[in-house]
Amino acid sequence: MSALERRSSMTLAAIYGLRMLGLFLILPVFAIYASTLPGGGDHLRVGLALGIYGMSQAALQIPFGIASDRFGRKPVMMFGMVIFALGSFMAGTSHTLDGIIIGRAVQGAGAISAAISAMIADSTRVENRTKAMALVGISIGMSFIVSLVAGPLLYQVIGVPGMFVLTGILALVAIAVIKWVVPDAPMTVHAEELGASAPRDSVFTAALLRLHFSIFVVNFTQVAMFVVVPLALVHDAGIRVPHHWMVYLPVTVGSFILAVPGIIWAEGRGYMRAVFIASVALMVLTMLGFAFGYARPVPLITALFCFFVAFNVMSALIPSLVSRTAPPARKGLALGVYTTAQSLGLFAGGAIGGWIARSWSGEGVFLACAALSLVWLVVALFIRPLPRHAN
C-alpha cells in the first residue's frame, strides 16, 4: 500500500471503529446496569436498548450511502457524526431505560458506515482493498478489545451514563479528524454518470445478497450473545464485573493474533472462499458450545475465543468481498445495503435474543444462533471466489 492509501485506510478505519465503539462499549455491562433501572429485569427491553441502535441505522444506511454517492463522502460522514454525538449525550443524560432506548435510536441515526466503506474503496487500488478492509476489521476488533476490557473498568468509575457521554465527546473529535486528517479522494464514478440504469440490477444480485445475509448473521449472534454472556460471567462463572477484563483481554487478543494471519493467507493464496466457509462452520460449533456449556467457566471462555476468531475473520472478508463485487458506480449504494443488513442484524439480535432469553432461557438464545448459523453455512457454500483483482 502507498503512504496515501495507508493514511486513508487507517484514519477511516479508526472512525469506523469509533462508530462500533458506541455499540461495543456498553455490551459487557449494560445488562447488569439495566437491572438497576425500573423495568431492567425485562430481557426483551434490555435487548431492545442494545439493538435499537441497529434499527435506526438500518432505516438510514441506504439513504446515507446514496447521499455519499451524490454529495461526497466527507460531508455525509461529518453530518452523521453530529447526529451520533447528539444521541450519545441523550442516552448519557437519561436515567430511565426508555430514555436510553431513545438515545440509542438517535445514535444509530448517524448512519455513516456505508460512506466510510465507500471512501475506503475510493482511496485504495483494488489489489490493496482487502488489506484496507482488513484494517476496518482490525479497528472493529480493537474496539471489541478496548470495550470488553475498558467497559467493566469504566463502569466502576463513570458508570454507563458516563460511557455514553465519553462516546459523544469522541464523536465530536472524530468530526475534526474527518475534516482535516482524512485525505480527500475522488469518487470512482459519480452517481450522475449512471444515466437510467436501475440500481437494483447491479446491487441486489444473488452474490451480494449472500454477503448481506452473512453480515446480518454475524451481527445477530454478536448482540444476542451479549444479552446472556455478561450475566453468565457473574452468576454462573462467579467472576465479578471489575474482573471481566481478565477474561475478555486474553480471549480477544489471542483470537486476533490467530485471525489476522488467516486473513492475509486467504487473500495472498486465493483461499478466501475456503477460509470464509471454515469460519462459518466455526460459528455454528461455537454457538452449540455456548448452548451446552456457557454456565461453566471453561466452555464459556473457550466459546468466547472461538467466536472472536470467526468474528475477526468475517469483519475483514465480508466488506472486502462486497466492495469488490459491487460495480464501481454503485459502491455507496451497495455498501449502504450491506450496512443496512449489518444494522438489522444488530437490532434483531438484541430484540429477538432478549425475547428468547425472557421467554425461554440463555441456552435458547445460543440454540437459535446455532440454527441461524447453520442456514448461513448452507448459503456460504454457494459463495464463489472472485478473481484476484476483481473490482
Q: pTM to 2 decimals?
A: 0.79
The pLDDT, as a whole number, for residue 330 is 66
Q: What is the rounded distance in angstroms from the CA atom of residue 2 to the CA atom of residue 4?
A: 5
Q: What is the rounded distance in angstroms from the CA atom of residue 335 to the CA atom of residue 232?
A: 35
Q: What is the rounded distance in angstroms from the CA atom of residue 274 to the CA atom of residue 281?
A: 11
- Mean pLDDT of successive 10-residue stretches along the chain, which has 391 residues: 87 85 84 87 88 88 84 93 95 93 93 84 78 74 80 92 93 92 75 46 78 93 89 85 85 83 75 88 95 86 91 81 73 73 89 91 92 95 66 47
Q: What is the rounded distance in angstroms from the CA atom of residue 205 to the CA atom of residue 326?
A: 9
Backbone angle region of 11, left / alpha / beta, with phi > 0 → left and psi within -120 to 50 → alpha: alpha
Backbone angle region of 132, left / alpha / beta, with phi > 0 → left and psi within -120 to 50 → alpha: alpha
The pLDDT, as a whole number, for residue 106 is 95
The pLDDT, as a whole number, for residue 188 is 61
31: closest CA among 21, 43, 22? 43
The pLDDT, as a whole number, for residue 257 is 85
Give the position of cell 482511496: 123
How distant, in Å, are the alpha carbons of 132, 153, 302, 311 from that of 259? 16, 26, 15, 9
The pLDDT, as a whole number, for residue 331 is 64
Return the DSSP state at 385.
Answer: P
Q: What is the rounded distance in angstroms from the CA atom of residue 103 to the CA atom of residue 378?
A: 37
Q: What is the rounded distance in angstroms from the CA atom of residue 208 to the CA atom of residue 199?
A: 13
The pLDDT, as a whole number, for residue 200 is 57
How distant, in Å, are the alpha carbons of 7, 20, 109, 146 from that of 17? 15, 5, 17, 10
Buried b (16+ CB within 10 A) or exposed e, 29-42: bbbbbbeebeebeb
> At a CB cut-off of 8 Å and minimum separation 6, what does 167 contact?
21, 22, 25, 88, 92
Instruction: Decide if 60 contacts 68 (C-beta within 8 A).
Output: no
The pLDDT, as a whole number, for residue 320 is 74
Main-chain phi, psi angles of 144, to 5 degrees: -60, -50
Which residue ranges form the domains of the chain, and what is each CATH number? 3-183+201-380 (1.20.1250.20)
- Sign of torsion, CA 334 122 218 177? negative
Q: Please name the helix (run of DSSP H) or strand (run of DSSP E) that holds residue 114, with its range, or none.
A: helix 113-123
Residues 28, 377, 359: CA angle, nearest 5 degrees? 45
Q: What is the rounded distance in angstroms from the CA atom of residue 391 to the CA atom of residue 370?
A: 33
- Sign of torsion, CA 366 98 140 2? positive
